[in-house]
């Protein structure tokens, strides 16, 4: 296995053993980026080769001098283009932010730098994180490394494709309704959404503030634990950041959970689930039984309403968050002449893509006078019921499991003209965000045509440590996470 196919943990071990230097690792991934980017279109902003090599050389020098190194020393980390990076353009893959250069780093970027990670470019995404396929980027459509005619998922599709395509060993994405777990499943890698409040959102350009969370992509659960250990923790600059201790996830990740009880919701195995996906997930559940787990049939009675509630709450918050981009406060101003309202309208029409415009209009409508109680307030009530369903479930089981997505990756353009079909891609993931829970997707098989399938694990709030251990149990008994596509 070449350097670019190694996990971050393996790369750290190679450096510690003197079998590879940080510069050699950096050069390997820079070469992989150059060779594969034309096929994958994973990145919005290419890795700065000069800066990458300089930082790698500094890490090698520190190691030679015997100085203390960070937890991610010499590991390249790709970052989704929705996270602010000081002095590096951050566009959210939107024309309205095409010239925005942040004067500060996002909290998670600060944490990466503090642990000697090498910032390795900015990844492509659905514009303002609105989408399920990364076809809504204003600049390019990212490709699935397992079949470049297919989508990698979204909105963090660029981050997922970069890891799956071995352009970076790990990356960061954001998850508002499944935007880490869904592309992780479709690209055959591990993706984790932490509990809401576990990771600071400072420096994250918001889509829906009560739903957004930052999380890692990796080849395996061990790397996911390592990344979460680095980025999690309280940040006083974020009022939603929770002041809870961060466990040493990497120390316990290989410890199995004894007397494990797995909740299997009947609502996750109904109409609309692809037969091959259902079979792979059921086989994974049987493997857990072999490992000593007990399957507990459960019901999440309000989950059928979660998708509808999500697509009211999320657009409502988006319409508020994106109001600032009007050509006056932020974003380029239209060159066409007009009064104030006309200038606002034309600037936003020129700067935002169709999907963003669609969600702003929808969000504005459900918050408008006469409709707020009928739609938005009712959706908030459903959100509370969804949360209660999970509270009841976790009283009887340790984890809830099911498919991450209803099908494997579809072809680029296949659902572009059908927004509702795209929204249904998130049917199994949005309830996790509405309830503020941690969730992880791990590989559990392939379709007959060679496309990855993901198993989703959902845990109780702030129980990431247990969730990672449960995910690692299956991973240790299978080899799906070791597969790499031929790009």
> What is the DSSP annotation of 253-271?
TTSPPTT-EEEEEGGGGST
Q: Is the pLDDT of residue 229 over 80?
A: yes
Examine residue 96 and state whether it is found in any structural domain, yes or no.
yes
In 10 A of CB 119, how many CB atoms? Answer: 20
Confidence of residue 376 (pLDDT cuts 50, 70, 90): very high
Which of 155, 200, 347, 431 is labelled catalytic? Answer: 155
Q: Name the token pair of 441.
A: 């997707």
Q: Among 6, 42, 71, 80, which one carries the catalytic annotation?
A: 80
Task: Give mean pLDDT, residues 303-328.
Answer: 96
Q: What is the pTM of this model?
A: 0.97
What's the mean pLDDT in 470-476? 98
pLDDT above 90 (res 423): no
| Domain region containing 42 | 3-258
Average of per-residue pLDDT across 5-14:
98
Mean pLDDT of 227-235: 98
Q: Is pLDDT of 235 > 90? A: yes
Q: How confident is the model at residue 252 (pLDDT cuts 50, 70, 90)?
A: very high
Helix ranges restricted to H, 155-241: 157-164, 181-187, 221-231
CB 191 within 8 A of CB 152: no
pLDDT of residue 450: 98
Give catalytic status of residue 155 as yes or no: yes
Residue 220 in any domain: the answer is: yes
Is residue 307 domain-resident?
no
Please report, for the domain that includes residue 10, its CATH number.
3.90.1300.10
Segment 47-102, tens digit of pLDDT: 999 999 999 999 999 999 999 999 999 999 999 999 999 999 999 999 999 999 99
44 part of a folded domain = yes
In a domain, 485, yes or no: no
Q: Is residue 71 part of a domain?
A: yes
Tokens of 341: 């309202």
Position 417 scores a pLDDT of: 82
For range 339-351, the mean pLDDT: 93
Give 159: exposed, middle or buried? Use CB within 10 Å, 0-12, 13-18, 19+.
buried
Tens digit of each residue's pLDDT (9 = 90 or more) over 186-207: 999 999 999 999 999 999 999 9
- Give 279's pLDDT tier (boundaries 50, 70, 90): very high
Instruction: Note the pLDDT of residue 334.
Output: 93
Q: What is the pLDDT of residue 330?
A: 86
In a domain, 477, yes or no: no
Look at residue 402 and tell me if it is in a domain: no
2, pLDDT greater than 80: yes
Helix (H, G, I), strand (E, B) or coil at 386: helix
* Distances 419 to 150, 199, 317, 379 between C-alpha atoms, Å: 17, 30, 19, 20
Q: What is the mean pLDDT of residues 368-386?
A: 96
Annotated active-site residue 34? The verdict is: no
* 80 catalytic residue (yes or no): yes
Written as six digits, the tokens of 435 are 């309830």
Q: Which of 232-246, 326-340, 345-359, 370-384 has the lowest mean pLDDT?
A: 326-340
The runs of H, that is alpha helices, within 301-423 are 306-321, 340-351, 354-366, 378-393, 419-423
134 — pLDDT class (breaks 50, 70, 90): very high
Q: Catalytic pick from 179, 200, 241, 441?
A: 179
pLDDT of amino acid 424? 83
The C-alpha atoms of residue 178 and residue 432 are separated, in whole angstroms, by 8
Provide the number of structural domains found in the chain: 1
Average pLDDT over residues 452-472: 98
């Amino acid at each position: 296995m070449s350097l670019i196919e190694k996990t971050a943990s393996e790369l750290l071990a190679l450096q510690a053993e003197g079998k590879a230097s940080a510069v050699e690792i950096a050069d390997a991934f820079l070469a992989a980026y150059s060779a594969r980017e034309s096929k994958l279109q994973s990145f919005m902003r290419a890795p700065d080769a000069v800066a990458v090599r300089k930082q790698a050389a500094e890490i090698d020098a520190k190691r030679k001098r015997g100085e203390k190194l960070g937890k991610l020393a010499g590991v390249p980390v790709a970052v989704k283009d929705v996270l602010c990076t000081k002095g590096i353009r951050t566009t959210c893959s939107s024309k309205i932010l095409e010239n925005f250069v942040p004067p500060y780093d996002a909290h998670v970027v600060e944490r990466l730098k503090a642990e000697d990670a090498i910032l390795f470019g900015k990844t492509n995404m659905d514009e303002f994180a609105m989408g399920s396929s990364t076809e809504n980027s204003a600049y390019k459509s990212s490709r699935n490394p397992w079949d470049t005619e297919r989508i990698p998922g979204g909105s963090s599709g660029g981050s997922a494709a970069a890891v799956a395509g071995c352009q970076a060993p790990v990356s960061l994405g954001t998850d508002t309704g499944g935007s880490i777990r869904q592309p992780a499943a479709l690209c055959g890698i591990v993706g984790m959404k932490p509990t809401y409040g576990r990771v600071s959102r400072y420096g994250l350009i918001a889509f829906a503030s009560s739903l957004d969370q930052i999380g890692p992509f990796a080849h395996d659960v061990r790397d996911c634990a390592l990344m979460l250990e680095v980025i999690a923790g309280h940040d006083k600059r974020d009022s939603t950041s929770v002041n809870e201790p961060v466990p040493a996830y990497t120390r316990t990740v290989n410890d199995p959970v004894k007397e494990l009880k797995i909740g299997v919701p009947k609502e996750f195995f109904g109409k609309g689930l692809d037969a091959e996906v259902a079979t792979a997930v059921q086989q994974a559940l049987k493997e857990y039984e072999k490992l000593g787990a007990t399957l507990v049939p459960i019901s999440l009675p309000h989950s059928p309403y979660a998708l509808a509630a999500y697509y009211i709450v999320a657009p409502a918050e988006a319409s508020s968050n994106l109001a600032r981009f009007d050509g006056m406060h932020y974003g380029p101003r239209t060159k066409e002449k007009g009064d104030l309202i006309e200038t606002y309208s034309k600037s936003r029409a020129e700067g935002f893509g169709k999907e963003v415009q669609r969600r702003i209009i929808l969000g504005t409508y459900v918050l408008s006078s006469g409709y707020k109680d009928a739609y938005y307030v009712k959706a908030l009530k459903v959100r509370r019921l969804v949360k209660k369903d999970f509270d009841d479930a976790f009283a009887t089981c340790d984890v809830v499991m099911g498919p991450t997505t209803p099908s494997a990756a579809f072809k680029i353009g296949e659902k572009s003209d059908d927004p509702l079909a795209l929204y249904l891609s998130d049917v199994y993931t949005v309830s996790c965000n509405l309830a503020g829970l941690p969730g992880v997707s791990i590989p559990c098989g392939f379709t007959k045509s060679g496309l990855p399938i993901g198993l989703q694990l959902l845990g109780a709030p702030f129980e990431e440590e247990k969730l990672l251990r449960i995910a690692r149990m299956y991973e240790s008994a299978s080899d799906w996470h070791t597969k790499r596509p031929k790009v």
